[in-house]
Structure 1
Amino acid sequence: MIKLEQYKIFNEAASTLSFSKAAKNLFISQSAVSQTIHALEKELNTQLFIRLNKGVTLTKEGMLLHKNITEALALITSVENELSHYNELLSGQLNIGAGDSICENYLIDLLKQFHHLYPTIKINVVNGTSIETVEHLKNGTIDLAFINLPYDDESLVLKECLTIHDIFISKKKDEHLYTYQEISKKNLILLEKSSNSRNYIDKYFAKHGILLKPEMELGAHHLLLEFTHANLGNACVVKEFSHDFLDKNKVYELKLKKPLPSRSIGYGYLKRRSLSQATLKFIELIDQFDKSI
């Protein structure tokens, strides 16, 4: 059976029309080149070279083989380089999915760092709720999903990357310590029920025998802040994503007698799907990043 290395030796000899030059260029002996060519001609049952006093020349069959082997080796080299580039992150694509608030308040800094380290990697971000993001993950649109935890799905590998705290806010400063029952009677503004964050809050209050009945349901976290600032109600928001409004006293946190427990944002990927080099490098960056903001 002819091996690729034999064709490489043949191709060098055919290019230089000299067994000695081919041997020198390949850092092997001239006898090794001669033996390889002889074995190749025997295997193909075809004479490839005409031996002359000074060097060699190709037969018609040799020229045909040389033309095709040159193209084949160029293709192999191209593929090897492409694979090397992927491994070295000189090319490729990072496909991730996340909600708007996670993108704005967490992912932007990570993506800036990643782009600085690997500027030739194309970054594609798909926006959606946690449920929608997992759907994108399963249909192959993205390779990595950022979702609100807890999230129960045995097909995913899930890892925490950021600790967050849910709070209730008001337009006006209020020193009263609220019970859960008292908060439930406020004019509430919550995210839509398609949101995993909303589901978490509903379930938590339900465990305490309280059914939340918001006056308004919105589709984006930043709207919760804007609507509260407009004095349209009291919203439940993520404290870590609300610093701009809280620090500027646009809204105020309503204190609870028993603060809501912290939860996490995490990233997930499918257990049975291999990850690209770009995705693996991005995960390395996530794991180095501070888990609180």
Structure 2
Amino acid sequence: MSKLDLYKVFCKVAKSSSFSQAAKDLYMTQPAVSQAIMQLERELDTRLFTRTPKGVSLTNEGSLLYEYANSAMNLIHVGEEKILEFKNLTTGELKIGVGDTISRYFLLPYLEAFHNRYPNIKFKIVNGTTLEICGIIKSGEVDIGVCNFPLADPALETRPCMDIQDIFVCGEKFTELLSAPVSLEEVAQHPLIFLETKSNSRRYVEDYMLSQGIKISPDFELGSHHLLLEFAKINLGVACVTKEFSREFLDKGVVHEVQLTQEIPKRSIGVCFLKSVSLSPASMKFVEILESRELNQ
């Protein structure tokens, strides 16, 4: 068997934790699967699986190898799919990594426009933080990511699509913050409501405040932008939110923007993808729609 075939067998056994199940999935005999694993272990001079009465489990060395082999197999699979759909967009799948907030407030109209134009292209949407999205792009699980910038990753090409503004909002209880513009130092003296630390949006604002000599210790750290607004609405503190994604709450007057003496610098939302892998036709068309901000059907 070729080295590629050996790794295909290895990944299938690792996923199923069973030689017999892997043999069924690969339409091979169980002895052939066992022989393939033995051959790979000989070539690597490393034991990859521990045999048990219930099946097999990866050794530490096997787990390390699987992390890389599985990513490689996913990328190969992506490459094969892109060849098949190269000529037209009558079939195929567009796999996008995106966070819940960006999906809700930014991405939906573009998904609708693309679907109306190419109805036979299926969508696979994977939710995650910006850091998680970068990881699944590199592993080949998604074609593109739509996430918060700035994003510094040499393996990814980044293209900004929309500028956004970080602001602070509060409820009626914090009227002293609403009568006149206030400094970030004054805002930081109140109970703060921020996204959790792994959020790229949180890190951006926190880094900017640190650059101004302001260290924060939020009273509430949440995993949802919508919850930030809800917590501010019931006067639990002053929330750091994205202005463009808070229009509904601001327009209804249930939360109020805190006017700052110096605005937090704007950042952007954008699309990113691997530099080393060509985009599929479906991905290329979707990126074009995002960049042109084109919503016409």
Amino acid in structure 1 at the alignment position of 2:244? E
Seen in structure 2, the aligned counterparts of structure 1 residues 282 and 112 have a Cα distance that, compared at 3 Å, is same
What's the secondary structure of 1:272's corresponding residue?
coil
Contact 1:164 1:238 in 2 (8 A): yes
For structure 2, the residue ranges without an aligned partner over 5 or more in a row are: 1-81
Seen in structure 2, the aligned counterparts of structure 1 residues 204 and 87 have a Cα distance that, compared at 3 Å, is same
Seen in structure 2, the aligned counterparts of structure 1 residues 141 and 83 have a Cα distance that, compared at 3 Å, is closer
Amino acid in structure 2 at the alignment position of 1:263? R
Amino acid in structure 1 at the alignment position of 2:166? D
Contact 1:165 1:263 in 2 (8 A): yes
After TM superposition, list the pairs within 5 Å mapping 1:108-147 onto structure 2: 108-147=108-147
What's the secondary structure of 2:190's corresponding residue?
coil
Matched with 2:248 is 244
Matched with 1:192 is 196
For residue 215 of structure 1, the aligned residue among 216, 219, 223 is 219
- 1:96 equivalent to 2:96? Answer yes
Note the alpha carbon deviations across 1:155-207, whole angstroms, 9 max, x for none. Answer: 11101011000000011262221111101111100000000011111110000
| Partner Cα separation in structure 1 for residue 149 and residue 294 of structure 2 | 17
Seen in structure 2, the aligned counterparts of structure 1 residues 265 and 97 have a Cα distance that, compared at 3 Å, is same
| Partner Cα separation in structure 2 for residue 261 and residue 199 of structure 1 | 13
Contact 1:101 1:220 in 2 (8 A): yes
The farther-off stretch of 166-175 and 218-227 is 166-175
Matched with 2:44 is none
Contact 1:85 1:91 in 2 (8 A): yes
CA RMSD, 1 decimal? 1.7
Contact 2:163 2:268 in 1 (8 A): yes
After TM superposition, list the pairs within 5 Å mapping 1:29-48 onto structure 2: none
| Partner Cα separation in structure 2 for residue 86 and residue 175 of structure 1 | 59
Note the alpha carbon deviations across 1:29-54, whole angstroms, 9 max, x for none. Answer: xxxxxxxxxxxxxxxxxxxxxxxxxx
Contact 1:171 1:231 in 2 (8 A): yes
After TM superposition, list the pairs within 5 Å mapping 1:166-177 onto structure 2: 166-172=166-172, 174-177=178-181
- 1:273 equivalent to 2:277? Answer yes
What's the secondary structure of 1:87's corresponding residue?
coil
Amino acid in structure 2 at the alignment position of 1:101? T
For structure 1, the residue ranges without an aligned partner over 5 or more in a row are: 1-81
Matched with 1:286 is 290
| Partner Cα separation in structure 2 for residue 139 and residue 230 of structure 1 | 42
TM-score (norm 2): 0.68
| Partner Cα separation in structure 2 for residue 286 and residue 113 of structure 1 | 10
Higher-Rg member (1/2):
1
| Partner Cα separation in structure 1 for residue 195 and residue 243 of structure 2 | 15
- 1:226 equivalent to 2:230? Answer yes
Seen in structure 2, the aligned counterparts of structure 1 residues 290 and 193 have a Cα distance that, compared at 3 Å, is farther
What's the secondary structure of 2:236's corresponding residue?
coil
Matched with 1:159 is 159
| Partner Cα separation in structure 2 for residue 201 and residue 277 of structure 1 | 36
Amino acid in structure 2 at the alignment position of 1:116? N
Following TM superposition, where does structure 1 have runs of at least 4 consecutive aligned residues deviating by more than 4 angstroms? 82-86
| Partner Cα separation in structure 2 for residue 135 and residue 87 of structure 1 | 29
| Partner Cα separation in structure 2 for residue 167 and residue 226 of structure 1 | 15
What's the secondary structure of 2:91's corresponding residue?
coil
What's the secondary structure of 1:123's corresponding residue?
strand
| Partner Cα separation in structure 1 for residue 147 and residue 224 of structure 2 | 15
TM-score (norm 1): 0.69
For residue 239 of structure 2, the aligned residue among 232, 235, 245 is 235
- 1:253 equivalent to 2:257? Answer yes
Amino acid in structure 2 at the alignment position of 1:89? L
Contact 2:97 2:127 in 1 (8 A): yes
Q: Percent identity?
A: 42
After TM superposition, list the pairs within 5 Å mapping 1:65-80 onto structure 2: none
Tell me the matched-pair count.
Answer: 210
Contact 1:169 1:237 in 2 (8 A): yes
